[in-house]
Amino acid sequence: MSKHHISATVNGDAVEFLCETEDTLLDVLRDQLGLTGTKEGCATGDCGACSVTVDGRLVCSCLMLGVEAKGKSIGTIEGIAQGEALHPLQRKFLEHAALQCGICTPGFLVAAKSLLEKSPDPSETEVRYWLAGNLCRCTGYDKIVRAVLDAAAEMRGA
């Protein structure tokens, strides 16, 4: 069986790749495009480590097929910083020590960025429920939630 030839946009760049029917978007990002910042924690959509945006919508890339990315615009962790400047969320994660091992961090950042685009002034509860699909086993979430709230405040100019 021949592979599928797919054209898509990843972090603003046009990309082309060949994939098998069963390859997930996560497989494609990691194995075909070399974007290993997106992590696989479970491959069943339960941990959020593979969070990306597809046409602006937050999804688990392990739950979407590579062929479904055709013509879509994908956003990954590698596209969050702008040149030398870290995104405010990235800076706040560092300042608040909101990561320990760091494996879940890309997924949290992608998910949190997606939250702040929809809701620039979220409550603590809103942050906790929005991020409930992202598992972190190291931090107990305390510093992650604080970092997101602080980044939101900074981005609002508060």
- Identified binder of another protein from the candidate list 2, 22, 83, 85, rule CB under 8 A: 22
Site for another protein contains 42 (CB under 8 A): yes
**How many Å apart are CA 121 and CA 18, to the nearest integer?**
41
| 40 DSSP 8-state letter | -
**How many Å apart are CA 121 and CA 64, to the nearest integer?**
30
**How many Å apart are CA 68 and CA 24, to the nearest integer?**
9
Pairing mode, if any, of strands 4-10 and 73-75?
A: parallel
Residue 2 vs 22, nearer CB to another protein: 22
Write each residue from 55 to 74 as x if it is in contact with another protein (CB under 8 A), else as -, in one continuous string.
Answer: --------------------
Of 122, 117, 113, 19, nearest in space to 67 by CA: 19
| 29 DSSP 8-state letter | I
Site for another protein contains 26 (CB under 8 A): no
- Find the part of the chain contacting another protein (CB under 8 A) among 53-61, 66-74, 78-86, 115-123: 78-86
Phi, psi of 54 (to 5 degrees): -125, 115
- Find the part of the chain contacting another protein (CB under 8 A) among 53-61, 64-72, 138-146, 150-158: 138-146
Residue 42 vs 54, nearer CB to another protein: 42
Cβ 149 to another protein shortest distance, Å: 11
Site for another protein contains 153 (CB under 8 A): no
**How many Å apart are CA 13 and CA 103, to the nearest integer?**
25
AA identity, residue 110: V
Cβ 80 to another protein shortest distance, Å: 7
Binding-site ranges for another protein (CB under 8 A): 20, 22, 30-31, 35-44, 46-47, 49, 76-78, 80-81, 86, 90, 93-97, 99-106, 109, 124-125, 127-129, 131-146
